[in-house]
Structures are given as C-alpha cells and as structure tokens.
A and B are shown apart, each in its own frame.
Chain A
C-alpha cells in the first residue's frame, strides 16, 4: 500500500468508529446492515468478479448463515458470537459441495442453476419436516445482544462495533487472499481458463474452493444480519435478496474490494430514498441503475473512482 492509501484507510476507519456516537440508533442499525452487506458483497465479488462464476442465488448462502445462527441461538442457547464460525464453516462446506457440480457449468448455465436455487429457496426453508428447527413460515425470533463487560454502549452501538470488527477481519483476509498467488490464479481462470490450466493452475480445486470461500463470506454476513435484525423468516430470503447482492457488486464495482463498500451503501440507502416515491420504486431504480452501469460504467463506482484518480494524477504530472 502506498502512504496515501494508508492515510485514506486510517481516516475511513476513524470515521467508521466515530459514526455511532453522532447518529441515531436507527441510523446506527442501518450502518450495521451496510457492513453486513459489504461482507456478503465481498463474498459474491470473489466468485463473480474475481473468478468469473456468475451466481444469481447467493441469497441461499446468506439464508443458510442466518438460519444457522438463529437455530443455534434459539434451540441450543449458543451465544451469538460463537455462531459466526459455525455458520461460516457450514456455508464453506455447502458452498464447496455446490461448487463441485458447478464446475461443469460455464457462465450462463451456472447462472441458471443458481437462479433456480434462489427461486426455490423459500420453499425449501418452509419444508414441513424442517419446521421443527426452522419454525416454518413463522421463522425464528432471536434476542438482541447487550454490550459485554459493562461497556457504556447501547445495544445498537455495540452490535455496530462487533460487526465492524468482523468486517475488518474479513476484509483483511480477503485482501491478503486476493492480492497473492491465490487471487492471481482466480483471475487467470476468469480470463482464460485453458491458459490457466496450462500454466499449472488446478481449475477444479480453485473454482470449487472459491465457491466455498465465497459462500462462507456470504454466510457469515447472513448470520450477522440475522443477529442485527433479530429475526429470520423464509420469505425474506427470496430471489430478490440474491438479486440485491448482484446489484451491489455490479454497482459497487466488479473485481474490487472497496467496491463492496460502495455497493453496500448503495443497496442499503437507495431504497430508503426511493421508497418515498412508491413502494415499487426501489426495484425500478435498481433495474435502471443496473442497465445504466452495464452500458456506461461497467467497472462500477470503484472503477469510476479509480479512473478519476488516475486522471487527476496525470494532470498533476503534466503541469
């Protein structure tokens, strides 16, 4: 990292840490969700942006993470923080297993298969033989965690800091993973899988592992989301959740780590603004933005910022 990047990062971190002391509880809650979405988007971006495997059903992994947490807390009394690694591990496994048959599917067909997963998910969650655990249509309500060690924080604030800490860890891990050998192999497979294979990259292992890690990220996001919202129900994990995640990575910026944050801000706050026009408006606006970005700004907000910075630097050098 250059010095300038470190300074920017430090400023962002300070701002993020100070944020809950300056806004209302509700806003704090919304920013917690932004962090949750950012983790989920980072996961999807690894798969779709870096590895070129299109998933239209990542809401499924988000749901699995959320349900893991809810069931563990509700049925087994596990503390909320301890459910995260379990949810992550289960999603890693499920993602890896789903990734194995997905190996045979290229581009469009993988999109189809994952789309089917996303559409049929609510029905699977409502299945009556799972009802004992999942609570069926009613879902599960879970209690809100209080700040530990007598810290003078409101529950919303504590949850925000907890999520922020997890987010930082996840982003640091992803950054390390993606800038090194593994990340290069993932991008090589995306750009030309035959050439990558010829260079000694094991396509099968990398693709299914990417699927697993991506599912793990999204699952951990789901489990944080469940803790923040304190409720899981099948109908909140419909195909539109998966599409929201797709909107997030396309608008934030494909194959970009910071893009996950821009995308998360977008999908959290744009619907709030659009809701004032009509209940249906957020989706119409999402759709228009999607088409607009594909036509005009295929690298998303992150790409646009990168380009603007590059131009700025060039101007400065020229003068």
Chain B
C-alpha cells in the first residue's frame, strides 16, 4: 500500500509538469488550431539557458525568472518570424514547419551544449518536507509551482483587460479585430505565454529526467495525451488530463506493464481518445456541416 501511495503521489508531481506543458499546447491550439510539435524542444532549449545561468553563478530563482522572461520573448519572436508566414497554409505545411523547428532546436542545443547528460539543480531542499516519507521536496515543490502558474494564468485571463483581449482574439478573430484588438499580436503573446509555461515545465522536469537535448520527447508525448484526454480546446481539461496521465503513467509503469513500456501508455491513451472520444472529457464536440 505504501508503494502504491508513493507512486500515486509521484504521479501527481510529474502530472503537474505534464499539465503545464499540455496547457501550453492548448493555449496555442485554442488561438490557432495548430498543435505545436516543437513545444517540448522550446522548453528544453529554455531549460538549457537556465542551466547556463545557474552554472555561471546566478542564484536559482533569479535564473528561473530570467529564463521565463527569455522564453516569453523567444516564443513571441518564433511566432512573428517563423509561424506567421504559414498561418493560413494547409495543415501539412504547418506540421512540417513545427517539425523543422523541433529538429533545429534539438540540433542547435546539441551543437552548443553537446549531447552529454547534465544534472540540473532543484531549488527545493534535499530533505523531504515535514519529515514525511511519501514525497521528495522536489515533487511537492513542482506541484506547488504548477499550481502557482495555473492560478496566475487564470487570474491573467479572467481579470485583466489584456487577458480578455487575448481570449477574444482566440474565440472570434474577426469581431475582435473590429473592436480594435490587434489579433496578430495577441497570437504572438499567446505563443510567448505558452513558451514561458513550457520553460517552467522544463525546469521542473529537468532535475528528474536530467538535462539532455532529447529529454522532452517523452514529456511532450504525455502532454499530448493529457491535452487530448481533457479535450484539446479546454485549458482546465488539460490540467486535469495532465494529473490523470501522470498518475496513470506511474501506477501502470510500476505495477502493471513495467517501466520500459511507459511511453506506450501515452500512445494507447492518445489513440484511444482520438478514436473513441476525440473531444476528450471536457472538449467541445465539433459538428461540421456538409
């Protein structure tokens, strides 16, 4: 029983990370109906920046916020420069551009930082909190950080004029443009926010999976699964899906199918959701008129 509780709680910790990345995916999907295959590599690249800053002697939280800011700018720039020209292109062209971004970021990181695995520091103490033995302090900390990010995002979209404008631009670009919202810039901001959330996820997952250019491959897959389970156009659903997938992955990996087949869990979830209930638990059901 102890082992089971431990796995479930560890699942919540990784689930929070998947939830963040899934949220980043959903934000971009809501605004543009594209799935960003490069989301994981963008997060990975940002995590390397954080690593450089920490190694250069910067205190962890300073490096953390600087990296988030960098990731935001990076996301905006990518949207303006790379994604803009294919905004209305066919799906295949968009997918190809995302894949191109994925491999470019992956190889440039490998080029700059080499492919050797690096350790990434955790900001939380090595001793578990409160003298309990179920969760390491990093796991608790990662959940905490995820929840803070969620709250901030919720507050931003719910209570600020800019958040409202971004929601309007995503929901109804034409009307939004008519009331004076600069829809193009809202999309770019959305990309920036998504990249910033991804960077947080990257920095939280790096102490667990270690830092290497391919570290986000698996995480991205779970994030896809999470986003789909919750309904790919529903941010709350993505968070729910993230925690669900995290727990499922850990429990199934530990007790049912073994750790080597963990990624297959994501594959099965993705295919099952897409074929059985493409709108996920909370997504909108799309009816196309023929």
> Taking beta carbons and an 8 Å cutoff, which residues of A are in contact with B?
48, 52, 54, 56, 101, 104-105, 107-109, 111-113, 115-117, 119-120, 123-124, 126-128, 194, 239-240, 243, 246, 250, 254, 278-284, 286-288, 290-291, 294-295, 298
Q: A113-B270, A127-B260 are in contact. List 14 more A-B contacts (CB 8 A).
A: A105-B274, A112-B228, A116-B270, A117-B267, A119-B221, A123-B263, A124-B264, A127-B261, A250-B96, A278-B111, A287-B102, A288-B100, A291-B82, A298-B93
Q: Tell me the dominant secondary structure on chain B's binding face.
A: helix
User: Bound state CA distance, A104 and B279, in angstroms?
Assistant: 12
> Could you say which residues of chain B place their CB within 8 Å of the CB of A56?
37, 95, 99
Instruction: Let me know if B103 and A286 touch, CB within 8 A.
Output: yes
In chain A, what residue has the closest Cβ to B98?
A111
With A123-B264, A280-B111 given, is the CB distance from A109 to B278 under 8 Å? yes
User: Bound state CA distance, A124 and B221, in angstroms?
Assistant: 15
Interface centre among A109, A112, A127, A246 (most CB of B within 10 A): A112
In chain B, what residue has the closest Cβ to A287?
B104
Instruction: Let me know if A280 and B93 touch, CB within 8 A.
Output: no
| Interface size, B (range) | 35 or more
Instruction: Let me know if A239 and B92 touch, CB within 8 A.
Output: no
Tell yes or no: B262 within 8 A of A by CB.
Answer: yes
Tell yes or no: B85 within 8 A of A by CB.
Answer: yes
A-B contact pairs, 14 of them (CB 8 A): A105-B275, A112-B224, A112-B228, A113-B270, A115-B37, A116-B266, A126-B260, A127-B260, A243-B99, A283-B107, A283-B110, A284-B103, A290-B96, A294-B86
User: Bound state CA distance, A52 and B95, in angstroms?
Assistant: 13
Shortest CB–CB separation between residue B229 and chain A, in angstroms? 13
Shortest CB–CB separation between residue A114 and chain B, in angstroms? 10
In chain A, what residue has the closest Cβ to B34?
A108
Instruction: Let me know if B217 and A288 touch, CB within 8 A.
Output: no
> Taking beta carbons and an 8 Å cutoff, which residues of B are in contact with A?
33-35, 37, 82, 85-86, 89, 91-93, 95-97, 99-104, 106-108, 110-111, 115, 217-218, 220-221, 224-225, 228, 258, 260-264, 266-267, 270-271, 274-275, 278, 290
Interface centre among B85, B93, B267 (most CB of A within 10 A): B267
Interface centre among B100, B110, B220, B221 (most CB of A within 10 A): B100
> Could you say which residues of chain A place their CB within 8 Å of the CB of B92?
48, 52, 54, 107, 254
With A56-B95, A128-B258 given, is the CB distance from A284 to B271 under 8 Å? no
Instruction: Let me know if B260 and A128 touch, CB within 8 A.
Output: yes
Q: Residue B107 contacts which of A109, A281, A298 (CB distance < 8 angstroms)? A: A281
User: Bound state CA distance, A178 and B200, in angstroms?
Assistant: 48
Instruction: Let me know if B91 and A283 touch, CB within 8 A.
Output: no
Q: Residue A112 contacts which of B33, B93, B264, B274 (CB distance < 8 angstroms)? A: B274
Q: Residue A291 contacts which of B35, B100, B262, B290 (CB distance < 8 angstroms)? A: B100
> Could you say which residues of chain B place their CB within 8 Å of the CB of A284?
103-104, 107-108, 111
> Could you say which residues of chain A place their CB within 8 Å of the CB of B225?
116
User: Bound state CA distance, A282 and B108, in angstroms?
Assistant: 10
Instruction: Let me know if B95 and A280 touch, CB within 8 A.
Output: no
Q: Residue B35 contacts which of A108, A117, A294 (CB distance < 8 angstroms)? A: A108
Instruction: Let me know if A54 and B95 touch, CB within 8 A.
Output: yes
User: Bound state CA distance, A283 and B101, in angstroms?
Assistant: 10
In chain A, what residue has the closest Cβ to B106?
A283
Instruction: Let me know if B107 and A290 touch, CB within 8 A.
Output: no
Instruction: Let me know if A283 and B104 touch, CB within 8 A.
Output: yes
Shortest CB–CB separation between residue B248 and chain A, in angstroms? 15
> Could you say which residues of chain A place their CB within 8 Å of the CB of B115?
279
In chain A, what residue has the closest Cβ to B218?
A119
Instruction: Let me know if B103 and A283 touch, CB within 8 A.
Output: yes
> Could you say which residues of chain B place their CB within 8 Å of the CB of A290?
96-97, 99-100, 103
User: Bound state CA distance, A298 and B274, in angstroms?
Assistant: 29
Q: Residue A287 contacts which of B86, B100, B290 (CB distance < 8 angstroms)? A: B100
Instruction: Let me know if A107 and B91 touch, CB within 8 A.
Output: yes
Q: Residue A104 contacts which of B91, B221, B275 (CB distance < 8 angstroms)? A: B275
> Could you say which residues of chain B place their CB within 8 Å of the CB of A105?
274-275, 278
In chain B, what residue has the closest Cβ to A52?
B92
User: Bound state CA distance, A250 and B94, in angstroms?
Assistant: 12
Shortest CB–CB separation between residue A296 and chain B, in angstroms? 10
> Could you say which residues of chain A place their CB within 8 Å of the CB of B89?
294
With A281-B107, A294-B97 given, is the CB distance from A112 to B35 under 8 Å? yes
> Could you say which residues of chain A place their CB within 8 Å of the CB of B37?
56, 111, 115
With A104-B275, A112-B224, A112-B270 given, is the CB distance from A123 to B99 under 8 Å? no
In chain A, what residue has the closest Cβ to B220?
A119
Shortest CB–CB separation between residue A104 and chain B, in angstroms? 5
> Could you say which residues of chain B place their CB within 8 Å of the CB of A240?
103
Instruction: Let me know if B264 and A280 touch, CB within 8 A.
Output: no
Instruction: Let me know if A280 and B91 touch, CB within 8 A.
Output: no
Instruction: Let me know if B95 and A288 touch, CB within 8 A.
Output: no
